Amino acid sequence: MKKILNVKSTLKTILAPVAFLGLLLNPMSGFAEENVMRCSAMTATGNPEYPPFLWQQRQTGQLRGAVANLMGRLSEKINIPIKTIYVGPWSRSQQEVRSGRIDLMAGAFYTSERADYMAYFAPAMMFTKSVVWQSSRRKFDYQKWSDLRNNWGVTVINNSFGQDFDDYAKKHLSLLTVASLEQALSMLDAGRADYVLYERSPGVAYVQRMSLKGLVEAVEPAVSSEGLFLAVSKLSPCNTPEIKERIATALRELVDEGVPQDALVSAMSEWASNTR
């Protein structure tokens, strides 16, 4: 028995420096394991007035839509639970991601301001066009951005239409911001604004829900066509090289497989059935 104990003691003495040497040669392995443990689950949010990409289900309060479905598939790919949750209007969603209280922004255009507090993943999950919405009873000629200069517009707080248009709007346009798309479209219908700036697909969905079809319409050309990106908060504990690499790899595989487009088609059907 004494010999066995002596052998075990000798092995420990021999192997301890070897283990220490292994950590010296590959110090990142320990950090990688620690980072994965710190990021055992993730939360995601987005714009809750963005059907068919994302919307809040009235009965349950949960977020539904193509982006929420895609987060489920991404979760399976990276083997980390992702819960897509409603935290409030679009402006509040951005605040929560900025603070790191929410890990992922599930659907946002790229802007330099947002890049200060979020790390973007490529490629874009989906693409969408932003358009000018006008009242059918009070239309004005719109062919280019400068045609908006002598009119009053309205959009949703903290909404973006791509860096180029955002920069132009700040310098040249008179834009009011409100808390919700429903409020913006109501103002347009009531004649309290000349136009609304918002993305086409969500706009069509809300025009139908609010029974404004024929009263409010989108006009061409689109003000911008932008990618809808996934991004992680720079203050999130999941903002590590290892986790970001896993997400980026999985996202590219999903896009290559056509999963986002399938999720979009499915979400469009779900939204249509819920608004009948």
pLDDT at 58: 80
Given a cut of 80, whether residue 48 has pLDDT beyond it is yes
Helices 259-274 and 66-78 pack at an angle, to 10 degrees, of 140
Structure pTM?
0.80
Cα 41 from Cα 50, distance rounded (Å): 25
Label residue 23 by pLDDT band (50, 70, 90): very low
pLDDT at 215: 97
pLDDT at 36: 53
Least confident of 8-22, 170-184, 247-261: 8-22
pLDDT at 59: 80
pLDDT at 183: 97
Instruction: Give whole-number Cα distances, 22 to 30, 45, 176, 270, in Å.
Output: 10, 40, 60, 53
Same fold, 37-125+230-274 and 128-226: yes
**pLDDT tens-digit series, residues 145-158:** 999 999 999 999 99
The CATH architecture annotation of domain 37-125+230-274 reads 3-Layer(aba) Sandwich (3.40)
Label residue 16 by pLDDT band (50, 70, 90): very low
Instruction: Provide the residue ranges of all domains of the chain, joining segments of one domain with +.
Output: 2-36, 37-125+230-274, 128-226
Compute the C-alpha angle 43/46/52, nearest 5°.
Answer: 120
pLDDT at 34: 52
Label residue 18 by pLDDT band (50, 70, 90): very low
Pick the CATH number of 128-226 from 3.40.190.10, 3.40.50.300, 3.10.350.10, 3.40.50.720: 3.40.190.10
Q: Annotate 194-224 with b (16+ C-beta within 10 A) or e (fewer).
A: bbbbbbbbbbbbbbebeebeeebbbbeebbb
Residue 21 burial (10 A CB sphere; 0-12, 13-18, 19+): exposed
Q: What mean pLDDT, rounded, does the chain reach?
A: 88
